[in-house]
Amino acid sequence: MTYKPKADQPGTFMLTLTPGGDLAAIGDTTAPAGAPQSGMTYSESITVNSTAGADYIFVLDASGSMLQKMPTLVRGVQQALAHFKSGDRFRIIIFDSRASELTHGFVGANPESVALWSKKLEQLHPPVGGTNVYEGLEAGLHAVEADRATSILLVTDGVTNEGIVDPKEFYALLKKYDVRVFGFLMGNNGNWPLMRLIADASGGFYEAVSNDDDIIGAILLAKSKIVSEAMHDAKLTIDGVKTFDRTDDVVTKIYRGQQLVIFGRYEKGGPANVTLAAKMTGQDATYKTAFDFPDVSTDYPELERMWALAGIERAVMKENAGFASPEEAKKAIQTLGLKYQLVTDYTSMIVLGDGDFVKRGIARTNRERVAVESQAHASRTPPASNRVDTSRPMFNGPAHTTRGGGAVDPMLALLALTAALVAPAARRLDRRWLSGKR
């Protein structure tokens, strides 16, 4: 999807890739041999391990702040354990100010062990202690076996007030291991930037959970991702059209059913060759397609703000990971927030009467931008398909999804991204107001 109002102006694009049946379930497939299908090539073919099962390491917050949430956490984990299959193994790490292992090593998933450790979970009583997330993760990473598909399931309220709290240290720790961390935050005071860093650094995901059903669903979703092949060290290249300021510089892994959404800018339209290179279960795979970038495209003006929002998120992550200084991140966020009329930690909206805007010489850029976006949105009925690789499909077979499907309207996506950015700032504002700090 693109927006380029004039031929002599840069354009903005959103490119969505959805690997489908190419990421097969582990144990059910042999990598294809012979001539490549569709847009794919393999450098070699191997048989995927069909008997190993998977390892799951629960890292559970048992700190004082979890006292009221512990029954919900326990029920969710108990029921998730019941969904494991023969060949799977699990460990349970608990942490408050310090971390300890409840299981003392991996336990095979079977009805007897699940019943035993479910009972032991019920006996957990959170002390009045702090939250040392770093030590919990460090304990979970201990003794991970390289030949097993392993995931860490971190359930916490994310207060993170003891031990190592520097995001850079978390990033460095997780980069030492080929382990995916799936983070689940309980409550409204979670450290969302840190949880996102943990998930992104390991190739996992994070989300909020509020009850045991949420926890079960989130854990099963995480489970579905590690029992299928994943693309490692994924890298997308676009040749023929000059692109810049893209948002995919932190992408490392792509899971079955996961959409890779990339925002970026481009100078001039024209034919482009798009290549996705990645490793899958020890082999190199390359996916290719070709399509045109338009030189003039006016259907999706809101893509500019979506690109800016993604840029703000990228700036925050780079600061947390130590790739950018606080000053560099702040400047990038301010620039994008002011130019594209976005609320951030460093920019705000101001409400004035029309006369006051004139009196103070404030340009009405937001009014003009909203008018353009609204007009374009109203003209998109019904929405058209934006698939561009029909003549040369990039992936073999239909796209696989684990949650929903269908076309995405950029305006709805813009609203969702805005809410994700504004909500943490609003929560901080509420806390400052309630504490008397203006």
The pLDDT, as a whole number, for residue 3 is: 96
* Least confident piece of the model among 21-25, 121-125, 181-185, 379-383: 21-25
Please compute the mean of the pLDDT values over residues 186-190 and round it to a whole number: 72
Q: Evaluate if residue 308 carries a pLDDT over 80.
A: yes
* Whether 283 contacts 210, CB under 8 Å: no
When pLDDT is cut at 50, 70 and 90, the band that residue 354 belongs to is confident
Tell me which of 426 and 140 has the higher pLDDT: 140
Confidence at residue 342, expressed as pLDDT on a 0 to 100 scale: 92
Percent residues over pLDDT 90 in the chain: 28
Tell me, what's the pLDDT at 435?
31
- Report how far residue 42's alpha carbon sits from residue 231's, in angstroms, rounded to the nearest whole number: 13
- Exposed/middle/buried for residue 37 (C-beta within 10 Å: 0-12, 13-18, 19+): middle
What is the average pLDDT across 346-374?
88
pLDDT for 427: 40
Mean pLDDT in residue range 178-200: 80
* pTM (2 d.p.): 0.69
More confident residue, 31 or 391: 391
Q: What is the average pLDDT score of the chain?
A: 78
Q: How many other β-carbons are positioned within 10 Å of the β-carbon of residue 92?
A: 23
**CA-closest candidate to residue 222, choices 19, 94, 402:** 402
Q: Domains in the chain, start-ordered, CATH in brackets?
A: 54-226 (3.40.50.410)
Considering only 272-276, 359-363, 372-376, 419-423, which range has the smallest mean pLDDT?
Answer: 419-423
pLDDT of residue 58 exceeding 70, the answer is: yes
Position of tokens 């976005």? 342
Tell me if 341 sits within 8 A of 365, measured CB to CB. Answer: yes
DSSP symbol at 374 = H
- Give the whole-angstrom CA distance, residue 204 versus residue 149: 13
pLDDT in tens, 233-270: 788 999 999 999 998 866 667 776 677 889 999 999 99
Report residue 352: phi and psi, to 5°. -135, 160
**pLDDT for the residue 22:** 60
Highest mean pLDDT among 45-54, 64-73, 366-375: 366-375
Task: Give me the pLDDT at residue 67, please.
Answer: 80
Separation between Cα atoms, residue 97 and residue 136, nearest integer Å? 9
Identify the pLDDT of residue 415: 53
Q: Are 131 and 63 in contact (CB under 8 A)?
A: yes
264-273, 293-302, 366-375, 404-413: range with lowest mean pLDDT: 404-413
Answer whether residue 334 shows pLDDT above 50.
yes
Mean pLDDT of 344-372: 88
- Highest-confidence segment of 167-181, 198-212, 284-298, 318-332: 284-298
Across residues 315-319, what is the average pLDDT?
A: 83
Tell the residue number behind the tokens 């909020």, with chain if given. Answer: 208
Residue 424 has pLDDT above 50, yes or no: no
Region 135-161: mean pLDDT is: 84
- Tokens representing 281 are 């279960």
Q: CB under 8 Å to 135, separation ≥6 — which residues?
A: 95, 98, 99, 163, 164
User: Structure tokens of 7?
Assistant: 């031929």
pLDDT of residue 229 exceeding 90, the answer is no
- Model confidence at 406, in pLDDT bands (50, 70, 90)? very low
